[in-house]
Amino acid sequence: MNAPIRVAIVGYGNLGRGVELALRQNSDMTLAAFFTRREPSSLKTLSPAIPVYSIHDILQHKEELDVLILCGGSATDLPKQSPHLAEHFTIVDSFDNHSRIPSHFDACDAAARQGGHIALLSVGWDPGLFSLLRLLGNCVLPCGQDYTFWGKGVSQGHSDAIRRVEGVLDGKQYTVPVPEALERVRSGENPVLTTREKHTRECYVVAAPDADKAKIEREIQTMPAYFADYDTTVHFITKEELDRDHRGIPHGGFVLRSGTTGEQQETKQMMEFSLKLGSNPEFTASVLVSCARAAVRLSREGQTGAKTILDIPPAYLSPQSGEELRRTLL
Amino acid sequence: MNAPIRVAIVGYGNLGRGVELALRQNSDMTLAAFFTRREPSSLKTLSPAIPVYSIHDILQHKEELDVLILCGGSATDLPKQSPHLAEHFTIVDSFDNHSRIPSHFDACDAAARQGGHIALLSVGWDPGLFSLLRLLGNCVLPCGQDYTFWGKGVSQGHSDAIRRVEGVLDGKQYTVPVPEALERVRSGENPVLTTREKHTRECYVVAAPDADKAKIEREIQTMPAYFADYDTTVHFITKEELDRDHRGIPHGGFVLRSGTTGEQQETKQMMEFSLKLGSNPEFTASVLVSCARAAVRLSREGQTGAKTILDIPPAYLSPQSGEELRRTLL
């Protein structure tokens, strides 16, 4: 039995807490430290025995750690942290700004090669597992069409946008796939779907007592980029209802590949992958933890540079040996 | 642009024909030859320009081929062919006798290492894509339960069993997942399901004019190993109906991972993968072809020995570069 993989969590929000909990489900890994930008003594984790250090001191702990799981945000944290830390550590992040993945990858690749480490990037479910399933669909059914639907789930960005509307005290937004669109895809019809046809948006809003609700509704429904291209429903509820019924952070979605085979492309073939997640950050954290195991293995093999989930032999995600996997799972 | 990968098809039944068609969808690969145990001139393929050779002469063609796709059966063909040919060629097979995979793997591994080749084994959808999804489920949600359902689809083995019953002229058997069982799994209930609760079996039977139909029905429904443990329905139809309505070889199925996360395992997380296949052999063939590409890449890197889909970096299945994949699919 090898010594457990020593993991540090960098950044302690919902995702960091999810990683903390996911590590408890993986006996070949151990939580070695937290790193935070806050005053370390102010951080209340679920693991009081595990030390909390300032992010500024992280280079002093190189010898005690096998891998860092970076749990910061993609907007401002990871674009700086990932390349910086990849020079000194094996890292895993969940960078999810799709359009900026290529430049993030290149920056981390250079740093990781420089330092002789592995940087496993953009891990989670989209990008992540959904990317892997899109890849499988494209490879197995080259003549076909990809479809990705998200939800039903909470969009943090859209919830934030609602809360910025005047007269709104609090609010939450759910992205919902349109069942009819999903059924048309499943039928093998290969429809061309507009943004409006694929998803609806449902908003639960707590308005200030004196607020103009009609105005709030109009302002949300016409908000460019966020809501204007969708059929958006606004429900006004009380703060108590919001806290009682909309506390969770569920999410999920569907990746479909609708393809054809045969001499005249006469045979319909359908692949579908879906997730129904009680907690988006806890699930993303679980993906990150299995990928941290893979990153350490690649690193111990002497590989270096940036990788994504598309580059990882799937068996590396597992604590079981190849022999066990062939006997039990294949 | 590299020269196309030169592929040979070994064995020309439904699966071989599927590979022949799938190669037409992949412009980076080219069909170089067929090999058969039959008299080569008797083989009528869909590609008259491609040479057909006797399997006995295959070693004479080592320099013309990059990879062999073995399309024989798992009962008697592949246990001999795969280890024999792995010593001389990069090979891909779809060996699907789950309990014998470990010994098949070991035999091919020794031969492939001996010859300095790659043998990518047990490729298809189960084993194959379903194995990969079971692995992902187990790695991402270590606290959870696996469920695999097959169908609705034609089982060749069970169709053969029906046709051996006295008084039966022809017949076809469909394996059907029980919708209620699937829904119980999807609900996160984690039920313990018996064989009978998971699948039903539907038989379409053409009886001889003078046959005792009640006896046929009884004999099928009580047949040990094949039908006795299932709720089996027998439909008597005419030969014309069988040929008209049951000509295809559809199949499919579901892999689900129902897991929990959170401090008290209070969060339900569900992963589901499903296939709805118009043609089982054409889809299996499509998986084999993308895996042949990966096998050649591994081989060109200098790797040797037996592998399964669990050992392949998914990007190797694709003709696109890592950069393209990150930009378009991640």
Per-residue pLDDT of chain A (330 residues; tens, 9 = 90+): 579 999 999 999 999 999 999 999 999 999 999 999 999 999 999 999 999 999 999 999 999 999 999 999 999 999 999 999 999 999 999 999 999 999 999 999 999 999 999 999 999 999 999 999 999 999 999 999 999 999 999 998 899 999 999 999 999 999 999 999 999 999 999 999 999 999 999 999 999 999 999 999 999 999 998 999 999 999 999 999 999 999 999 999 999 999 999 999 999 999 999 999 999 999 999 999 999 999 999 999 999 999 999 999 999 999 999 999 999 999
Of B139, B290, B327, the CB nearest to A139: B290
B272 chain-A contacts, CB cut-off 8 A = 272-276
Are the beta carbons of B288 and B69 closer than 8 angstroms?
yes
Tell me the pLDDT of chain B averaged across its residues.
Answer: 97
Phi, psi (5° rounding) for residue B76? -130, -30
- What digits encode the pLDDT tens for the residues B211-259? 999 999 999 999 998 999 999 999 999 999 999 999 999 999 999 999 9
Note whether B286 contacts A269, CB cutoff 8 Å. Answer: yes
Are the beta carbons of B293 and B314 closer than 8 angstroms?
no
Note whether B269 contacts A263, CB cutoff 8 Å. Answer: no
Q: Which residues of A116-145 are buried (b: 16+ CB within 10 A; e: fewer)?
A: ebbbbbbbbbbbbbbbbbbbbbbbbbbebb
A93 chain-B contacts, CB cut-off 8 A = none
A218 in B contact zone (CB under 8 Å): no
Of B275, B285, B313, the CB nearest to A313: B313
SS3 B55: helix
Interface of B with A in 258-317 (CB under 8 A): 261-263, 267-279, 282-283, 285-287, 290, 308-315, 317
Handedness of CA A293, A296, A300, A301 (dihedral sign): positive
What residue in A sits closest to B294 (Cα-Cα)? Answer: A139
Residue B83 has pLDDT above 60, yes or no: yes
Q: For residue B2, what pLDDT is reported?
A: 78
Q: For residue A99, what pLDDT is reported?
A: 92
- What digits encode the pLDDT tens for the residues B36-80? 999 999 999 999 999 999 999 999 999 999 999 999 999 999 999
What residue in B sits closest to A123 (Cα-Cα)? Answer: B330
pLDDT above 90 covers a percentage of chain B that reads: 98
- What digits encode the pLDDT tens for the residues B269-284? 999 999 999 999 999 9
Q: Which residues of A297-329 are buried (b: 16+ CB within 10 A; e: fewer)?
A: bbbeeeebbbbbbbbbbbbbbbbbebeebbeeb
pLDDT above 70 covers a percentage of chain B that reads: 100
A288 to chain B nearest CA, in Å?
A: 8
B220 to chain A nearest CA, in Å?
A: 30
Confidence of residue B1 (pLDDT cuts 50, 70, 90): low
Q: Round to the nearest angstrom and report the end-to-end CA distance of chain B.
A: 24
Compute the distance between CA of residue A93 and CA of residue B92 in angstroms, rounded to an integer.
34
Note whether B314 contacts A315, CB cutoff 8 Å. Answer: no
Query: What string of H, E and C letters represents the secondary structure of chain A?
Result: CCCCEEEEEECCCHHHHHHHHHHCCCCCEEEEEEEECCCHHHCCCCCCCCCEEEHHHHHHHHHHCCEEEECCCCCCHHHHHHHHHHCCCCEECCCCCHHHHHHHHHHHHHHHHHHCCEEECCCCECCEHHHHHHHHHHHHCCCEEEEEEECCEECHHHHHHHHCCCCEEEEEEEEEECHHHHHHHHCCCCCCCCHHHHEEEEEEEEECCCCCHHHHHHHHHCCCCCCCCCEEEEEECCHHHHHHHCCCECEEEEEEEEEEECCCCCEEEEEEEEEEECEHHHHHHHHHHHHHHHHHHHHHCCCCEEECHHHCCHHHHCCCCHHHHHHHCC
Q: Smallest Cα–Cα separation from B148: which of B119, B126, B121?
A: B126
Q: Is the pTM of this model over 0.90?
A: yes
The first and second tokens of residue A192, run together, are 């061309």
